[in-house]
């Protein structure tokens, strides 16, 4: 146990910081701080006064004024800093008894200086587009930022959907069309990390480390940063990029804002109702309640999750949010509380052909074979509650601390109805059809809690220390997922009428799945800013330590319906029971390896230096060392190989970032950084989960992924919200983790297993982003071209003239999963302060992308190019009151998935069941329609 020692160290440090004290003074310096260009008062800027080696700080007030009182006589130095602006020149002077009030006015250029790399902290209102432009411009690394103002006007209510507006980002959707994960520059979610206020948060995901981004309501954000190149001071596990959610911080004066809205999806109607259900009363499994040796019977289960299905023809979605903030105690104490509630009804209508695990070698090699043609309707109710609160307190001018708390909870009620009346597959014929229907009610509860205590200390002129103590918890519960299957054979006569029905299998599954991550971590950074050879040089050193514990449990109870009772839409009449009474015993659960405990201790240390090599060339470079130490233990019996293990690795991650300032408003950047991606827990623990087509198992022998990343970018910030960014990137990825089908014994036991591909992957492309306002009308466009390639071994099942049917391994080169060659956003904005009207029409284009990799050659699933058009507006209707609306997916765009196999070449029997096809050289296997979502409401802002 290392962390108590660490906490002690923190405590010590903290106490030392509190020892700083200051002597009394006599005179006064005051003045105003303004923007050199616009003359605007720069509220919130920090004025730093040094006298006799002691430092004092004050914040600039609303009028742009500051003052230092009770100063001693003698020489002084004064400098002003403000996020997004360069530091002012050092003003030197001398206080004498004659000069009792000295006025020093400072005008800041929004140039030169950088925001601190350690953590982006904003004191003032940084929610405007102009403010984030200066962050993008002044940051030492490649970054894109969405401001709160931009997010507010977006048609999106979750962070995931807002992310698709960022240059180079595409999103992966859930079954109901809600964006869930972000793919940054063609690198899928495993390559990206999520920070809240610069602090990494654990994921509630059942298997992976990445965080579902739809859990965050977007209105809680002050800004959304997508950082595409890592500095040594940042955690190194982001090959694609980092999503940093900067939450609203305490304002400089009393703030109150609130909003409420309502809406509906046009998907639902009386003929296609939303199907809601009530959660099962059994939040814990029989084994969790009564112990693993308890033999459960049918009486232990409740079918409420299915039995309570209720049709609602037009469910009403609603959202509400409130933010209150103020500053107290002579502006030393700032508090903000923000709460958000969303209750959204969405869904989709899906048509899907389910491929057999194995294709056929006849008529063509790897001819897809379909076993079922499903019509599925999804109804999803998502309730999100988010509360966050930040308290910052300036102990004195040199010492500030803040406490941040975030709690987010999402309950997703998803009911899925599947009907299959076509009768595909091995045991169906023209006169005997095997049909499968299944209904599933699934409640997924996820939550994230984060509490961060942060301190900032100026230790004299040239030294600064900041630290964070963090506790985070992420949980996911799937209590009593209830699924009912009915598989029957219908016998038909020559005219196609059903003459008999035989129940092949009636099954009822009750499933519980829980995981919980707890992180305790500490961060500390020491910054030293001496002048060397007349130049400002900034050295930083620091590190982090994280102690993570993850516990997961997983159990499925499968009951059978006896096969004698036909299903007539009432499963309560079916006599369910365990096949054998022993199947009801928790200890007989075949998935014991899914009950696991993981302990991971990570620590990282870095050293970085920043200086201007030439007056206009800034260099930031350094190295980071990350140590990972993971131990896992499953509940598998002693005879199971891989039941427990320990995995350790160390990475040395150098990076260098060059920024050349062409002019005041133009930069050229070049950077290199090394990064890693750690395998997910569910990949590394020998886990086994049931997948859509194949079961998936973990692989303790997985190595982590490493990558070399190169970036160049040209930036032009003509002022205001306008910008032009042109960039290019190249990534070389080593030990990429890809999924392969391996035999797990028998023929029906082929499983998907993550493995390190022996070949390296490459990913390169370029990005362009332009925003330009012509008066009240603005245009924003971004486009990213990405080209990634990886060569992996695939199975080819073909008919060899001499050897007969053969399965061989062949290499196939393909893009990385999730990557689209062409991704773009275009929006037209109208912003008129005079009319109090803002409007935005936003269009997202995601080119064809690899949706799922097949183990078989040329049978990968590709998602066809997807366009979505959204509209939103906000109109001030009274002082402080506005009305706003959001319309999503105006054109009812469909998500379609194809196999690149000419559908005309499928065998005659399969042809009968294909459904409507629209591309000659491909086979449409899935189409999902979400329809249009409307939301309208009121906002109040004091």
> What is the contact surface with other proteins in residues (CB under 8 A)?
356, 358, 360-362, 369, 425-432, 434, 489, 491, 493-494, 502-505, 563, 580, 588, 590, 592-593, 636-641, 688, 743-750, 795, 797, 799, 803-809, 907, 909-910
In whole angstroms, how far apart are CA 534 and each of 530, 531, 537, 583, 613?
9, 6, 9, 77, 12
- Whether 715 contacts 669, CB under 8 Å: yes
Q: Closer CB to other proteins, residue 249 or residue 595?
A: 595
Q: Closer CB to other proteins, residue 203 or residue 594?
A: 594
- Label the pairing between strands 192-196 and 241-247: parallel
Rg (CA), the chain: 30
Q: Closer CB to other proteins, residue 74 or residue 562?
A: 562
**203 in helix, strand or coil?**
coil
User: What letter would DSSP give residue 2?
Assistant: -
Residue pointed to by tokens 């107290």: 328
- Whether 143 contacts 135, CB under 8 Å: yes
Q: Residues 6 or more apart from 570 whose CB is under 8 A from it?
A: none
Q: Closer CB to other proteins, residue 523 or residue 857?
A: 857
CB of residue 755 to other proteins, shortest distance in Å: 14
CB of residue 561 to other proteins, shortest distance in Å: 12
CA–CA dist 430, 421 (Å, integer): 13
Q: Closer CB to other proteins, residue 560 or residue 876?
A: 560
Q: Which long-range contacts (CB under 8 A, 24 or more apart) does 691-695 make?
A: 691/752, 692/354, 693/354, 693/355, 693/357, 694/357, 694/741, 694/750, 694/751, 694/752, 694/855, 695/744, 695/749, 695/751, 695/752
CB of residue 697 to other proteins, shortest distance in Å: 10
CB of residue 294 to other proteins, shortest distance in Å: 18
CB of residue 420 to other proteins, shortest distance in Å: 16
Q: Closer CB to other proteins, residue 297 or residue 793?
A: 793
CA–CA dist 896, 923 (Å, integer): 10
CB of residue 740 to other proteins, shortest distance in Å: 11
CB of residue 377 to other proteins, shortest distance in Å: 27
CB of residue 361 to other proteins, shortest distance in Å: 6
Q: Closer CB to other proteins, residue 534 or residue 745?
A: 745
Q: Closer CB to other proteins, residue 299 or residue 803?
A: 803
CB of residue 367 to other proteins, shortest distance in Å: 9
Please report which helix (H) or strand (E) contains residue 220, including its range.
Answer: none
CB of residue 645 to other proteins, shortest distance in Å: 15
CB of residue 373 to other proteins, shortest distance in Å: 14
Of 649, 654, 647, 615, the residue nearest 631 (C-alpha): 647
CA 211 to chain centre: 5
- Whether 767 contacts 726, CB under 8 Å: yes
In whole angstroms, how far apart are CA 577 and each of 269, 280, 285, 560, 564?
37, 19, 16, 6, 13
Question: What is the DSSP secondary-structure string of 236-304?
Answer: S--SSEEEEEEE----SS-EEEEEEEEEEETT--SSS-EEE-PPPS--S-HHHHH-TT-B--GGG---H
In whole angstroms, how far apart are CA 886 and each of 157, 257, 346, 816?
9, 19, 15, 33
Q: Closer CB to other proteins, residue 174 or residue 593?
A: 593
Token pair recorded at residue 885: 């609306």
Q: Closer CB to other proteins, residue 797 or residue 861?
A: 797
Q: Closer CB to other proteins, residue 411 or residue 799?
A: 799
CB of residue 300 to other proteins, shortest distance in Å: 21
Of 895, 889, 894, 881, the residue nearest 934 (C-alpha): 889
Of 587, 563, 372, 554, the residue nearest 481 (C-alpha): 554
Token pair recorded at residue 517: 């991550």
Question: What is the DSSP secondary-structure string of 634-703?
Answer: ES--TTSTTSEEEEEEEEEEEEEEEEEEEETTEEEEEEEEEEEEPPPHHHHS--EE--SSSEEE--TTPP
CB of residue 365 to other proteins, shortest distance in Å: 12
Q: Closer CB to other proteins, residue 663 or residue 802?
A: 802
Q: Closer CB to other proteins, residue 142 or residue 488?
A: 488
């Amino acid at each position: 146990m290392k962390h108590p020692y660490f906490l002690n160290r923190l405590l010590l440090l903290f106490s030392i910081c509190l020892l700083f004290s200051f002597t009394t003074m006599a005179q006064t310096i005051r003045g105003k701080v303004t923007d050199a260009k616009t003359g605007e008062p720069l509220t919130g800027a920090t004025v730093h006064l040094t006298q006799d080696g002691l430092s004092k700080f004050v914040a600039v007030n609303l009028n742009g004024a500051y003052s230092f009182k009770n100063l001693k006589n003698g020489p002084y130095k004064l400098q002003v800093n403000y996020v997004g602006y360069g530091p002012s020149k050092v003003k030197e002077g001398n206080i004498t008894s004659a000069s009792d009030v000295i006025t020093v006015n400072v005008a800041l250029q929004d140039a030169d200086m950088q925001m601190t790399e350690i953590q982006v902290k904003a004191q003032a209102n940084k929610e405007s587009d102009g403010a984030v432009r200066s962050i993008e411009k002044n940051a030492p690394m490649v970054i894109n930022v969405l401001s709160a103002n931009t997010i507010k006007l977006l048609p999106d209510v979750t962070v995931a959907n807002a992310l698709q507006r960022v240059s180079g980002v595409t999103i992966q959707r859930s079954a109901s069309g809600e964006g869930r994960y972000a793919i940054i520059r063609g690198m899928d979610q495993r390559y990206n990390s999520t920070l809240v206020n610069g602090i990494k948060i654990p994921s509630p995901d059942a298997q992976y480390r990445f965080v579902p981004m739809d859990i965050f309501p977007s209105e809680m954000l002050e800004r959304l940063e997508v950082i595409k190149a890592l500095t040594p001071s940042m955690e190194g596990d982001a090959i694609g990029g980092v999503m940093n959610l900067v939450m609203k911080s305490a304002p400089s004066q009393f703030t109150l804002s609130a909003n409420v809205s309502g809406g509906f999806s046009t998907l639902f109607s009386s003929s296609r109702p939303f199907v809601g259900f009530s959660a099962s009363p059994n939040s814990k499994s029989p084994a969790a309640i009564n112990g693993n040796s308890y033999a459960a019977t049918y009486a232990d289960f409740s079918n409420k999750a299915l039995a309570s299905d209720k049709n609602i023809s037009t469910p009403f979605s609603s959202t509400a949010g409130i933010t209150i903030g103020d500053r107290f105690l002579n502006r030393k104490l700032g508090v903000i509380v923000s709460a958000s509630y969303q209750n959204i009804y969405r869904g989709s209508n899906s048509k899907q052909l389910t491929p057999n695990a194995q294709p056929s070698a006849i008529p063509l090699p790897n001819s897809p074979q379909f076993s079922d043609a499903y019509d599925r309707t999804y109804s999803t109710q998502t309730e999100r509650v988010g509360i966050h609160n930040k308290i910052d307190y300036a102990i004195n001018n040199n010492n500030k601390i803040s406490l941040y708390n975030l709690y987010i909870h999402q309950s997703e009620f998803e009911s899925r109805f599947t009907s299959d009346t076509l009768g595909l597959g091995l045991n169906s014929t023209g006169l005997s059809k095997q049909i499968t229907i299944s209904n599933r009610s699934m409640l997924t509860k996820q939550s994230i809690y984060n509490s961060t205590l942060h301190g900032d200390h100026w230790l004299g002129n040239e030294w600064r220390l900041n630290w964070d103590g963090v506790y985070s918890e992420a949980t996911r519960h799937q209590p009593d997922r209830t699924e009912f299957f009915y598989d029957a054979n219908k016998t038909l006569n020559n005219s196609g009428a059903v003459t008999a029905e035989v129940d092949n299998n009636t099954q009822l599954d009750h499933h519980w799945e829980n995981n919980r991550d707890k992180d305790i971590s500490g961060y500390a950074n020491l910054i030293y800013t001496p002048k060397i050879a007349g130049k400002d040089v900034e050295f930083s050193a620091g590190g982090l330590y994280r102690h993570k514990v993850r516990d997961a449990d997983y159990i499925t109870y499968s009951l059978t319906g006896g096969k004698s009772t036909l299903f007539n839409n009432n499963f309560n009449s079916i006599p369910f029971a365990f096949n054998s009474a022993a199947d009801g015993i928790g200890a007989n659960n075949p998935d014991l390896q899914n009950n696991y405990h993981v302990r991971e201790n990570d620590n990282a240390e870095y050293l970085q230096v920043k200086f201007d090599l030439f007056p206009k060339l800034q260099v930031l470079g350094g190295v980071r060392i990350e140590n990972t130490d993971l131990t896992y233990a499953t509940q598998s019996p002693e005879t199971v190989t891989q039941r427990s293990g320990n995995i350790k690795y160390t990475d040395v991650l150098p990076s260098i970032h060059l920024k050349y300032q062409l002019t005041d408003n133009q930069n050229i950047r070049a950077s290199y950084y090394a990064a890693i991606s750690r395998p997910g827990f569910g990949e590394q623990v020998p886990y086994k989960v049931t997948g859509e087509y194949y079961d998936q198992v973990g692989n303790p022998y997985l190595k982590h992924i490493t990558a070399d990343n190169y970036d160049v970018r040209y930036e032009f910030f003509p002022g205001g919200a306008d910008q032009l960014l042109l960039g290019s990137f190249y990534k070389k990825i080593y030990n990429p983790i890809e999924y392969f089908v391996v035999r797990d014994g028998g023929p029906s036991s082929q499983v998907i297993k993550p493995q390190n591909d022996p070949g390296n992957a490459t990913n390169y492309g370029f990005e362009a982003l332009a925003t330009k306002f012509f008066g009240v009308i603005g245009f924003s466009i971004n486009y990213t071209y990405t080209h990634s390639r990886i060569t992996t071994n695939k199975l080819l099942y073909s008919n060899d003239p001499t050897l007969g049917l053969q399965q061989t391994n062949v290499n196939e080169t393909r893009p990385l999963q999730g990557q689209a060659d062409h991704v773009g956003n275009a929006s037209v904005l109208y912003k008129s302060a005079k009319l109090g009207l803002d409007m935005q029409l936003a269009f997202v284009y995601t080119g064809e992308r690899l949706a799922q990799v097949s183990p078989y050659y040329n049978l990968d699933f590709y998602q066809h190019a997807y366009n979505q058009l959204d509209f939103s507006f906000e109109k001030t209707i009274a002082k402080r009151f506005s009305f706003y609306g959001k319309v999503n997916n105006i054109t009812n765009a469909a998500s379609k998935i194809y196999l690149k196999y000419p559908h005309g070449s499928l065998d005659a029997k399969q042809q009968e069941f294909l459904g409507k096809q629209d591309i000659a050289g491909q086979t449409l296997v899935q189409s999902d329609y979400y329809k249009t979502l409307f939301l309208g409401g009121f906002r109040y802002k004091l």
